[in-house]
Amino acid sequence: MAADDPATRVSVVVVNYNAGDLLTDCVASLRLEGVRQVIVVDNASVDGSIEALERADPDVTVVQTGANLGYGRGANRGAAFTDTELLLVLNPDTVVQPGMIKVLVEALDHNPRLGIVGPRIENPDGSLYPSAREFPRLIDSVGHGFLGMVAPRNRFTRRYRMLDWDHAAYAVVDWVSGSCMLVRRRAWDAIGGFDEDYFMYAEDVDLCWRVGRAGWQVAYEPAAVIMHVQGVSADRHPYRMIVEHHRALLRFAARSTRYPERALLPVVAVGLVARTGLAWAHRWLQGRAGRSS
């Protein structure tokens, strides 16, 4: 491997929670890209995923947390074991496509103001997952929250998820998905990594928001591609994850919203409680339909 290989400048932190064989596939795809340092933070998995990984790749570093710490806190634990200039934070149910890391590293090298860059994320069927988004404004959050489950192409969801934007083009954006993001170490250290008060969800939005406030940019680079299965860990505790999702949204709204919109936060809180109930009902109906089919 060449000494100037971009992958040698990258350490990877994968946060695992019962991802099964997908974890081994994820790490194998990183090795094919030339990544040397892979830190897998395990949040007390009981499915044998860590044992299978260690048999397949004895050189991987496993950090056992002893409990399910959540995504951001787990990523912070893993980052403490790394010393490279670039940090790739990754979900375990992903597979890196050839050349992805090289392209992301080049994006950071090309723009010294760039603190975070994320790739194009594809679903297993090859369709696009809209991973580059705008920071949610209160009106869009309310509209997306209540219409997104029944009318996914509503104007609030389209604006928030940037669905009408050309996802084939590189762009500086508000935030990118934490399921795969390459972070410049100086930017990471400047803000102290993820806010550990987020258990799951919105920790990536918050990270990008704080990176921006620290003077860095965030970008989306579609020439780099990763496949993401989506929801493997969260589906094990769906109702708790629904609660955590809405709690995280309220936390970010409270942190980022300014007056006069801030006066609406109590109304937003009530709305999120109502939406939690609707989301529970929607999930229950989906499960019932699946059992009867």
For residue range 94-118, list pLDDT tens digits in order: 999 999 999 999 999 999 999 999 9
Q: Show the beta-strand stretches assigned E in 70-113.
A: 86-90, 94-96
Handedness of CA 243, 198, 234, 267 (dihedral sign): positive
pLDDT score for 169 = 92
Distance CA 50, CA 252 (A): 32
Question: Which of 161, 124, 141 lies closest to 245, judged by CA?
Answer: 141
The answer to whether position 209 is within a domain reads: yes
Question: Which of 147, 211, 220 lies closest to 177, judged by CA?
Answer: 220
Question: Cis peptide leading into 260, omega within 30 of 0?
Answer: yes
The answer to whether position 259 is within a domain reads: no
Question: Which of 86, 35, 280, 51 lies closest to 189, judged by CA?
Answer: 86
CB count in 10 Å sphere of residue 227:
21
First to last CA, the chain: 51
**How many structural domains comprise the chain?**
1
The answer to whether position 161 is within a domain reads: yes
Residue 234 pLDDT class (50, 70, 90 cuts): low
The answer to whether position 46 is within a domain reads: yes
The answer to whether position 273 is within a domain reads: no
Q: Show the beta-strand stretches assigned E in 123-247.
A: 128-129, 132-133, 171-173, 175-176, 180-184, 217-228
Higher pLDDT, 270 or 220: 220
Residue 271 pLDDT class (50, 70, 90 cuts): low
CATH number, position 158: 3.90.550.10
